[in-house]
A and B are shown apart, each in its own frame.
Chain A
Amino acid sequence: MTTAADAIAVPSSAAPTPTRERFWYPYLLIAPSMIVLTVVSLIPFLYTVFLSLHAAKFGRVTDFIGLDNYIQLLTDPRFWNSIGIAVIFVGIAVPIEFMLGLIGALVLNQNVRGRSILVPLLFMPTMMAPIVVGLLWKIMLAGSWGFFSYNVLERFHLIGNTSVFASPDLALFALIFVDIWQWTPFMMLAFFAGLQALPLGPYRAAAIDGANGVQIFFNITLPMLTPLLAVIGLLRFIDAFKVFDTVFILTNGGPGIATETPSILANKMTFEFWNIGEASAMAVLIWIAFFVFCNVFYQVAKKRLNAF
């Protein structure tokens, strides 16, 4: 087989086209996947658009009402509150995760031993079920007896004998803290993988020129790593907006609406208020926003990182 490959020069431009490939062959291969994905994503999306244009409450879909649901949603202060919460959440959590992740990756890159054990362990917060992450911090931050509440927060007089999740001022920051705990390892290990893949040539040249560590970082490492940082940051940014499980088990949007993210609000609108029309309008808007995000991610990853 290898001899055949060596002996016959295959024009590199030609994808494997043995006996004049039948044109429909690749379409046959992707058909099952595309049919399933259409059924499970495109049809629900179109149905959501349909619902958003109709009066729909308590599961009964009645009249076509045009854009009324959208107007109702966009004039609902609770909707804008949830957008504000998401912006604060993502705007604080993601940059901190990014910086801590970058520092962690640089440390991990310093010839650390036992990586084959340390790396999987460090991945645990990211890989475990988000609902268990929430449970973990519900335990650690429980009012009065929670390990972290009692031994850290109360000792330093940050909170009294109550749970941080019951405080309207602090609950959101507690959720941000949990998100940082959960996702910093992902940033760190993704950046670390990027560092490991960098070419050695520029570093040898810099060593010969006698550049110091700081110079090397800012003039060599950072420029070469930038596309990767952009792609990972963007991916995390998109994901952070979707946060649901941890918030659901820790505060479910409370106290009041102090931690009500868009996902939590959409869920409440549907399954608590049964205001299906308005919830659908919200889903459609979120969906469109995510499609734009996703397109940006794809273009950046493809062009800057040569991925995909």
Chain B
Amino acid sequence: MTQSTASSRSSGSLFWTGAVIAYAAVVLFPIFWMALMMVMPNDAMFARPTVFLFKPTLDHFNYVLEQGFYWSLLTSFVLCTVSTALIIVIGTPAAYAFARFEMKLKDDLFLFILATRMAPPVCLAIPFYLIFAKINLLDTFLGLTLAYMTFNLSFYVWVLRSFCRDLPAELEEAAALEGWSRAQIFRRIVFPLLRNGIVATAVLCFIFAWNEFLFAFMLGGENVQTLPVSIPKLITSQGVRWGEMAVVGITALLPVLAAVFVLQRHIVRGLTLGAVKG
């Protein structure tokens, strides 16, 4: 590229940058509006025509606190953390084994994992509900943790395997020739190189669990009520509590916002199940 084209390219890039910013502003406006509704008094909310200036109120926050929604927040947080931690422990060796070793029926086992990931949750919710009702797992942390394994453990193994395959095998081979044991190789070579992949995949698992609604709604209850499930509860017989819903919705959104900034390009890889490297 010569100097003259470089300047025309930069003005072009400004135009496209402006276009993307404008697009993002339009697309993200509903989220901004919902954030405003957290402090919008009810009369301003229902006004026709739309009111942009209003006196902020903390009523919605107060109601949400009075009704004990922080318990849902805490429940969500504990459930997602515990289930993700379990998945890391169970899934990491499997992902590594699928990436490195020859096995009989490897393709079939692997396809089974993919099929588990892709199975429609509704189809699983029916048998889960009936089985859990029999063995008293409805409305328990253990029950939901198990249910979350269907989409998250399979996801974790599948995506982490793609990270494992990016690691050069030569280091492990050389260490093996030096007489290192399998455990040593894993702990001192594989794990440090794989750490970023593990973190990225685990954060995605956490987000999927955090966002999950169907299982939490069907298999949870009074004891284990996650944040997403608490949202429809605000559609009461006395009317819909919009401002309160906005508060809970934005609360549910904040960890996701933090995660997308941390994950950046790993998101594409995760959401495409490793098909696109990102």
Residue pair B123, A5 in contact (C-beta under 8 Å): no
Over the window 231-256 of chain A, the binary record of Cβ atoms lying under 8 Å from chain B Cβ atoms (1 yes, 0 no) is 11001001001101100110000000
Residue pair A193, B278 in contact (C-beta under 8 Å): yes
Over the window 9-27 of chain A, the binary record of Cβ atoms lying under 8 Å from chain B Cβ atoms (1 yes, 0 no) is 0100011111101000111
On chain B, the residues within 8 Å of A120 by CB distance are: 257, 260-261, 263-264
Residue pair B231, A249 in contact (C-beta under 8 Å): yes
On chain A, the residues within 8 Å of B257 by CB distance are: 120, 124
On chain B, the residues within 8 Å of A135 by CB distance are: 34, 231, 245-246, 249
On chain A, the residues within 8 Å of B58 by CB distance are: none
Residue pair B119, A290 in contact (C-beta under 8 Å): yes
Residue pair B12, A110 in contact (C-beta under 8 Å): yes
On chain A, the residues within 8 Å of B256 by CB distance are: 124, 127-129
Q: Is the interface of A mostly helix, strand, loop or mixed?
A: helix
Tell me which of B24, B27, B180 contacts A181 (CB under 8 A).
Answer: B27
Within 8 A of A (CB), among B254-274: 256-257, 259-261, 263-265, 267-269, 271-274
Tell me which of A132, A140, A231, A242 contacts B275 (CB under 8 A).
Answer: A231
Please, how many angstroms separate the alpha-carbon atoms of A206 and B249 in the complex?
49
Q: Residue of A at shortest CB range from B156?
A: A33
Please, how many angstroms separate the alpha-carbon atoms of A297 and B277 in the complex?
17
On chain A, the residues within 8 Å of B231 by CB distance are: 131-132, 135, 249
On chain A, the residues within 8 Å of B274 by CB distance are: 307-308
Please, how many angstroms separate the alpha-carbon atoms of A1 and B188 in the complex?
12
On chain A, the residues within 8 Å of B245 by CB distance are: 135, 139
A201 to chain B, nearest CB (A): 16
On chain B, the residues within 8 Å of A32 by CB distance are: 90, 93-94
Residue pair A270, B125 in contact (C-beta under 8 Å): yes
**A164 lies within 8 A of chain B by Cβ:** no
Residue pair B45, A145 in contact (C-beta under 8 Å): yes
Residue pair A34, B109 in contact (C-beta under 8 Å): yes
On chain A, the residues within 8 Å of B171 by CB distance are: 1, 5
On chain B, the residues within 8 Å of A121 by CB distance are: 24, 28, 260
Within 8 A of A (CB), among B29-53: 30-31, 33-34, 37, 45-50
Please, how many angstroms separate the alpha-carbon atoms of A160 and B48 in the complex?
13
Q: Residue of B at shortest CB range from A293?
A: B118
B171 to chain A, nearest CB (A): 6
On chain A, the residues within 8 Å of B124 by CB distance are: 40-41, 44
On chain A, the residues within 8 Å of B218 by CB distance are: 271
Most buried by B among A32, A131, A136: A131
Q: A33-B157, A104-B23, A238-B118 are in contact. Are A112 and B127 (CB under 8 A)?
A: no
Q: A139-B242, A232-B276 are in contact. Are A4 and B97 (CB under 8 A)?
A: no
Residue pair B111, A295 in contact (C-beta under 8 Å): yes
**A130 lies within 8 A of chain B by Cβ:** yes
Over the window 204-247 of chain B, the binary record of Cβ atoms lying under 8 Å from chain A Cβ atoms (1 yes, 0 no) is 00010011111000100000000010011000000000100110
Please, how many angstroms separate the alpha-carbon atoms of A18 and B128 in the complex?
44
Most buried by B among A40, A112, A232: A40
Q: Residue of A at shortest CB range from B253?
A: A128
**A303 lies within 8 A of chain B by Cβ:** no
Most buried by A among B127, B128, B174: B127
On chain B, the residues within 8 Å of A44 by CB distance are: 124, 127-128, 131
Residue pair B211, A194 in contact (C-beta under 8 Å): no
Over the window 31-58 of chain A, the binary record of Cβ atoms lying under 8 Å from chain B Cβ atoms (1 yes, 0 no) is 0111011011111110110010000000
Please, how many angstroms separate the alpha-carbon atoms of A116 and B261 in the complex?
8
Q: A110-B16, A136-B34, A139-B34 are in contact. Are A125 and B150 (CB under 8 A)?
A: no
Tell me which of B125, B176, B271 contacts A18 (CB under 8 A).
Answer: B176
Residue pair B16, A112 in contact (C-beta under 8 Å): yes
Residue pair A287, B23 in contact (C-beta under 8 Å): no
Within 8 A of B (CB), among A116-172: 116, 118-132, 135-137, 139-140, 142, 144-145, 147-148, 150-151
A interface residue numbers (CB < 8 A to B): 1, 4-5, 8, 10, 14-19, 21, 25-27, 29-30, 32-34, 36-37, 39-45, 47-48, 51, 59, 104, 107-108, 110-114, 116, 118-132, 135-137, 139-140, 142, 144-145, 147-148, 150-151, 181, 185-186, 189-190, 193-194, 197, 228, 231-232, 235, 238, 241-242, 244-245, 248-249, 262-263, 266-267, 270-271, 276, 279-280, 283-284, 286-287, 290-291, 293-295, 297-298, 301, 305, 307-308
Q: List 25 A-B contacts (CB under 8 A).
A: A1-B174, A1-B175, A5-B171, A10-B174, A16-B169, A18-B182, A25-B101, A25-B182, A40-B153, A41-B124, A44-B128, A47-B127, A110-B16, A118-B21, A121-B260, A131-B232, A137-B30, A194-B276, A231-B272, A232-B272, A241-B120, A248-B214, A280-B126, A295-B111, A308-B275
